[in-house]
Structure 1
Amino acid sequence: MRRQLRPTDVKRLNRTWRRNTGNRLGMILESVTGPFNVGSIFRSAAAFGVDEIWLAGNATPPTNPKAGKTALGTERLVTWHEPVPATEAVKAAREAGYTVLAIELTAEAAPLHRADLARDVCLVVGSEDHGCSPALLDAVDGACYIPQVGRVGSFNVAVAAAIALAEARRQEWQNLADS
């Protein structure tokens, strides 16, 4: 009979995955203003072991009370930086050793599963309404998109961020023996 893992078993399982994780992940949130989206992104970032988040443009900080309702304290587990212009955030991520990739629908974007994410990578998501700005897209090292087959044109920004983070870790872990 299947049963859920107990908290001690979950900690042990997560510790095993952490030991098999060496790549650093970063994120840039450009003008993501919805506090629930910001909180959700921080929660996913903490779950996938993101090291740093740079806020850019007019992004809502995780200290916003509504963001905190969704983040549930996980904003304390990720180093984050106050909002700066998007190109400055890209420059800071690059100086920290990351390859910076926008998650955006552009003509030259690669499908997410074909992008090289199994390295130190900083993933960028843009505003809920307009995505990444032209200036940011000019500044990043590349772009990738999440293939979709349904009748909806795009994902919610927090969902897109979680999918991209999961894919980055999946690529890193794909050749591990089953854990």
Structure 2
Amino acid sequence: MRKLQMEDLNRLSVEDFKETEKNNFCIILDDVRSMNNVGSAFRTADAFLTDKIYLCGITATPPHREIEKTALGSTDSVAWEYHENIMELIEQLKVQNYIVLAVEQVENSLKLNDFQPKTNQKYAFVFGNEVFGVNEKVVEMADNCLEIPQFGTKHSLNISVTVGIICWDFVSKLLSTKNLN
């Protein structure tokens, strides 16, 4: 076994990435304070061919040195938009037939391990503020809430970890569904 070098990985160029068919989901970051978390979300979005990132409220936007520290150039490959008002964005996405899923701990949440995405359905995953989580009004507007089961003493994961888990889970479930057909 040997560690792969960059040239062994056959990564897409930014131009090729932009032309490649994306997976049918977007990420919404609402009132995310940490620019490192924003950058990490961009890098994860690039890794999983996310269709787009929406940055809302106080969430910082590129270009910014603090975002680039963790994004490592993925702000150039991943499509993104800023929306001041997340409620208006959610309304727009619902008109475009997205299922909006807030990632939050709520009564009767859908546990991530029970979530089964539909192949031709578009999804929008909402991630909220590091301290306060997803805004209550956004939770009410969402079609459902996804929760990552946790078993330790802490009540939450860092948003960058959460984005990674949700994106990996979604894409891996889509790939396994496609392989079955």
Question: Aligned partners of 2:96 and 2:2: how far apart in 1?
Answer: 42
The residue aligned with 1:150 is: 152
CA contact (8 A) 2:101 2:143 kept: yes
- How far apart are 1:6 and its partner, in Å? 4.2
Q: Which residue identity is paired with 2:151?
A: V
**Contact 1:90 1:100 (8 Å CA) reproduced:** yes
| Partner residue, 1:159 | 161
1:81 aligned counterpart, secondary structure: strand
Give the direction of change, closer, same or farther, for the CA distance of 1:170–1:124 in structure 2 (3 Å limit): same
Letter in 1 for 2:3: Q
Aligned to 1:93: 93
Give 1:59 deviation, angstroms. Answer: 1.1
**Contact 2:22 2:49 (8 Å CA) reproduced:** no
* Cα shift at 1:165: 0.4
Deviation at 1:175, TM superposition (A): 4.1
Match of 1:90, SS state, is helix
Partner in structure 2 of residue 74 of structure 1: 74
Q: Alignment identity in percent?
A: 29
The residue matched to 2:150 in structure 1 has which SS? coil
Give 3-state SS (helix, strand or coil) of 1:11's partner.
coil
**Number of residue pairs aligned between Structure 1 and Structure 2:** 170
Which secondary structure does the structure 2 equivalent of 1:151 belong to? coil
The answer on 1:5 being equivalent to 2:7 is: no
Equivalent residue, structure 2, for 1:57 = 57
- TM-score when scaled to structure 1? 0.86
- Which blocks of at least 5 consecutive residues in structure 2 are unaligned? 12-20
Q: What is the RMSD computed on CA atoms of the aligned residues?
A: 2.2
